[in-house]
Amino acid sequence: MANDKNGNYIKGTKKELPEDWATYGFCYAVFPNKEQEPKLERSFGCERKVYNEYVAGLYEYLESIEYTGGRISYKVPNYTTITIKFDFLDKSNDSFVYNDAKMRFTAAIKKYNEQYAKKPIQYKKSIQNKIKNEGYIPNVRDIKGLPKFHSKKQGKLSYTTNQTNGNISVVKNGNDGYLLRIPKFQDGIAIHLHRELPVGGVVKKATIRREGTKYLVSLSVDFPFKSEKPIDQINPEKVIGLDYSQSDLYVDSNGEAAEYPRYHKIIEKRQRRLNKSLARKKNAASLGSEGKIMDSNNYKKTLSEYQDVMKKAKNQRKDFLHKTSNQKTNDYDAIVVEDLDLSNLAQCLSLGKKLHDNGFGMYRNMLKYKALKKGKHFIIADKFFPSSKLCSECGGKNKHLKLSDRVFLCPHCGLKKHRDHNAALNLKQYGIRLLGQKLTA
């Protein structure tokens, strides 16, 4: 529970939201001035330093107990045990900068315990090759899934601050637009409010980040929102199945493909050229007094251009996925997708590149929350449901179907159909059967 400066209770600040309230994120561009930019960069650096100190402490602990696998029971110390060691980690930064590092580190350990602790210790592919070819002896740092050190150049430049006594707000700046007020920036940072925040909403936390040369803020807002009631009576024509497609993102049960433009492939040639340019500039760079490479202004300029190119492809991808997912959830009452293990698919050299490009996992998440918001049904088929090998006409099974076979031939009824279209029809029928059981129960 939180109160404002006058001691009045702020709605929506309990751990459990009141009935007919919801939490959504809103992303905006912010424009810090020349005085505010160094303060933000300093906050990013301090958050990274605290996080890396946590990771170093974890590695020391695992080496001391001679860790050989299993669940990690590590008591995460308070961030003050780290900040007290360094003078620059002082109160000039928002205290949530340091707390955010602790929260991210705790989440990383939790993720490891959930995804890797029950399996034998795994090593990254590069380490496996060194073990095989060079007789390399791996250490704790080489274990796959453990929290890793954050890099200044390649890491995410961001931090999250939480609302306390209404210290996060968006206010009008006369006729010049709006200002974002967060701790240590109470004068306000210029923000482009391209869409209004919900009326009566409470900003719970703000995540400031830099992508390339541009700054963004993500606001988590609690606000009154009444979700649509789930639809009870569903017309089978309003049910659609979506089968994953490497080249087109998906093929639906109507036989239509998404025709995803593959944005990363469009910029691939330019990305390669910029990577070569960065490598040449890095090889020609001089060394500083401590033996570290001194990045030239040309290197920094090229790096900024590279980041902007990658960011554009990312934004184009998200825009395409948002529009197509919005269209599907508007047009249909139930959407059925297959339960693919995307992390394993991404390991495959012939499949991983396209999978990362089309963002099917992100697309599924968008479909899920948009369907829930609109009172529609989002169904994930059982992991072992053989949607590709079943005939959509007679239900027969083609046990000899290979991944390279792009046309489905039924050995029982002779049906000939594109395999993705056939699989999407099977998913649709699966969803209709499941919905019939749920609605009649």
C-alpha angle 169-173-179 in degrees, rounded to nearest 5: 35
Max mean pLDDT among 9-23, 55-69, 285-299 falls in 55-69
pLDDT, mean of residues 385-412? 85
* Its pTM surpasses 0.85: no
For residue range 325-355, what is the model confidence (pLDDT) as tens digits? 999 999 999 999 998 877 777 777 667 777 7
Query: Is residue 298's pLDDT more than 90?
Result: no
Domain ranges in the chain with CATH number 3.30.420? 236-261+316-440
3-class DSSP state for residue 273? helix
Tokens representing residue 24 in the block? 């959504």
Q: What is the pLDDT of residue 410?
A: 86
Q: In the β-sheet with 334-337, what is the strand arrangement from edge to edge? A: 249-252, 239-245, 334-337, 377-380
Query: Would you state the pLDDT for residue 17?
Result: 75
pLDDT at position 1 is 44
How many residues appear in the chain?
A: 441
pLDDT band at 186 (very low <50, low <70, confident <90, very high): confident
439 within 8 A of 232, measured Cβ to Cβ: yes
Map tokens 């995804």 to a residue.
115
What pLDDT score was predicted for residue 350? 67
Return the percentage of the chain with pLDDT > 90, whole number: 41
> Which residues of 135-292 form beta strands (DSSP E)?
157-162, 169-172, 178-182, 185-192, 202-211, 214-224, 239-245, 249-252
Instruction: Provide the mean pLDDT of the chain.
Output: 86
Structure token digits, residue 285: 């760079």
Torsion of CA 317, 320, 322, 323, to 10 degrees: 170
pLDDT at res. 440: 52
**What CATH number should be reported for the domain whose range is 236-261+316-440?**
3.30.420
Work out the number of other CB atoms within 10 angstroms of the CB of residue 150: 18
Q: Please report which confidence band the pLDDT of residue 395 belongs to, taking 50, 70 and 90 as the band edges.
A: confident
Please determine, for residue 212, whether its predicted confidence score (pLDDT) is greater than 50: yes
